[in-house]
Structure 1
Amino acid sequence: MFVHTPDDGKILDAYCKHFSKVWVVLSPFLRPQALPFERFFPGTYPTRNEILADCTPVTWSEVLHKGGFETLSDIDIALRSYVLGLTYPNQRLSDQLANMVEGQKLIPPVEGCFAPHNERRFLLRLIERKRCAGPVVSA
């Protein structure tokens, strides 16, 4: 089933109408150690392995506190305003995010991409579950 989320709507509101449970995975911000910031643009964006080797993931909770945001929704609105993804962007939150990202030397999550750190954690959990479950026997 495809569920379209309204551009200016809340994600959970759109999905809760169709599913009994909804999980939202928040892609972390990145704190590069040695990779230059100039690499984080289309055409030169680091590979998955480069990101995993060099960047520290920064949680939305940390961004919430260091950036002075009131809610996780504020960060979501700031990010979507920052990339001009809202019909009515919130310039104050976008500026707040831009200042925080620059001051903390962070890279915002890439829209529409599954973050390498989340992907690795997800795949490791799948491997763990498979080991715990034992072999699958079919009749």
Structure 2
Amino acid sequence: MTDRVLPTPEKYASCPYDEKIMSFYEGQFECVYVLLHPFFKPISIDIERFCPSEWPDKHEIINGCDSISWSEILKLSGLNSLSDIDIGLRTSIGGLKKELSNEQFSNKLSELEKKNIIHPQEGDISPLLENRLFKTIQTLGHNWLWVGDEFGTERKLHWIDDLLEKSQVPSHGSVFTHDHSLLVTTHWDSHCSFLCSSKETIERVLSLEPFEGFYCTPKTEVYWGAHEI
């Protein structure tokens, strides 16, 4: 019997796992920008809704929550760097090896719950970023986007206006343009997404929407908070 081995996923439609980000995308994308998923605070949604069985949908969060940047979280938590936040978030979900985790960082972020501040979800494009990204991609001249799973085995072409109205992106999914020039993907254990394209295109995106984040260097790893970024 022949073993069923999946083909290697196309780089324009997939996400690195535990490696240097730019090395993974070499030959496909010139540049990668790490999009930090905002924390958020419910304004018109009962805080009790934020549990797995009753979690609000995308539009409820967009319309009913305030977005809180990582820069603001540094001020509120007393942490010193974006890396501290990343390590604290990953520690809180058990996403780091023991020697890399930091319970002190995690506890400082947990203290924010007293102020009704919700942690960003890992593994999914933030609902507070999703439609902003889609509208920006439209402005760049794209009307269609492929939406696929994390393994590159399933994908479907969507009209962007339809994506704005519904939640169609799967957990750990990838969203990419038909010409393979732009990709947004989310690592399953991360509270950020990767925006991959040319430097010119990403600069254009950021001029339209100043998404909080940072550019990858050749040394930036998927678990970037625990390494040099």
Q: TM-score range by the shorter chain?
A: 0.7 to 0.9
Instruction: Select the structure that is richer in helix.
Output: 1
Matched, 1:21 2:34: no
Q: Deviations over 1:77-122 (max 9, x none)?
A: 00011111111121111111101x2233211001111111211111
For 1:95, which of 100, 107, 132 is the aligned residue?
A: 107
Give the number of the structure with larger relative contact order, counting CA–CA contacts within 8 Å between residues 6 or more apart. 2
For 1:64, which of 74, 81, 88 is the aligned residue?
A: 74
C-alpha RMSD of the superposition: 1.7
Q: Which residue of 1 aligns with 2:43?
A: 33
Amino acid in structure 2 at the alignment position of 1:73:
S
Please identify, of 73-82 and 120-129, the stretch whose mean Cα deviation from structure 2 is larger.
Answer: 120-129
- Cα drift, residue 17 of structure 1: 2.3
TM-score between both structures, scaled by the size of structure 1 = 0.81
Task: Report the Cα distance in structure 1 between the residues aligned to 2:89 and 2:134, rounded to whole angstroms.
Answer: 26
Task: Report the Cα distance in structure 1 between the residues aligned to 2:135 and 2:46, rounded to whole angstroms.
Answer: 29
Task: Report the Cα distance in structure 2 between the residues aligned to 1:102 and 1:65, rounded to whole angstroms.
Answer: 15
Structure 1 unaligned spans of 5+? 7-13, 132-139
- Cα drift, residue 127 of structure 1: 2.1
Q: Which residue of 2 aligns with 1:104?
A: 115
Q: Deviations over 1:45-74 (max 9, x none)?
A: 000111011001111111111111111000
Task: Report the Cα distance in structure 1 between the residues aligned to 2:17 and 2:94, rounded to whole angstroms.
Answer: 18
Matched, 1:5 2:11: no
TM-score between both structures, scaled by the size of structure 2 = 0.50
- Cα drift, residue 3 of structure 1: 2.2
Amino acid in structure 2 at the alignment position of 1:103:
K
Q: Percent identity?
A: 33
